[in-house]
Amino acid sequence: MKSLQRADLLSLEDYEQQRPAFRQRVMAEKNRRRVALSEHLMLLFENRLTVQYQIQEMLRAERIFDPAGIAAELDTYNPLIPDGTNLKATLLIEYTDVAQRRRALAELVGIEHKIWLQVAELPRVFAIADEDLPRANEEKTSAVHFLRFELTQAMRRAMHARDAIAMGVDHPACPCLICALDPPLARALSEDFEPVLLTEGADQDRIQFSNFSPSIR
């Protein structure tokens, strides 16, 4: 999946005019790429469209129109786009009550490293979390984490073959298991892989979260 370039973005004026329709399209895309791991754990698998929306919203909110400012936003958010051998996601820990959220974040320390994905009967893949900067300490975790699931060639092929995709959390404070993702979500995730990267010898380890610190949505 290609990174976004300045030419891919709408100007502030054009975006303002097209925003209602564009936002409706993005919300529909987010709905099919979102999975509830539990009542309070939500995972959004990002792609080029969801990241473009975030950039456009930031440019709009901050009234950024100069080339340097636009380039900075692209550098910040492009690492969230899957690069062909992985899935990338935003993890949200959601509590409306402040006191309850505070307690939960203390209980859920380390949860960002305990989320896994499994394709068919292949080994589980645990998320690589927050490669840009630490978002947790020994006392509490963060309410937002950025995850990468690096998949082997066999896993990517199995996803394209529509084999079942399971997910779960191996954390004592919030254990969960989803035996199979809904077909629309599984289909959406399989679309994140380019055909050329399903062929022999295409595996590469890629880390693209350096210098990445997007704002919370």
Contacts of 126 (CB under 8 A, 6+ apart): 113, 114, 115, 116
Residue 201 has pLDDT above 70, yes or no: no
- CB–CB of 39/202 below 8 Å? no
- CA dist., res. 2 & res. 5, Å (int): 9
User: pLDDT-based confidence at 135, cuts 50/70/90?
Assistant: confident
127: pLDDT strictly greater than 60? yes
Q: How far is 74 from 54, CA to CA, in rounded Å?
A: 10
- What is the per-residue pLDDT across 47-103, written as a single tens digit (0 to 9) for each? 999 999 999 999 999 999 999 999 999 998 999 999 989 999 999 999 999 999 999
Side-chain-side CA neighbours of 43 within 13 Å: the count stands at 26
pLDDT in tens, 4-60: 999 999 999 999 999 999 999 999 999 999 999 999 999 999 999 999 999 999 999
pLDDT band at 214 (very low <50, low <70, confident <90, very high): low
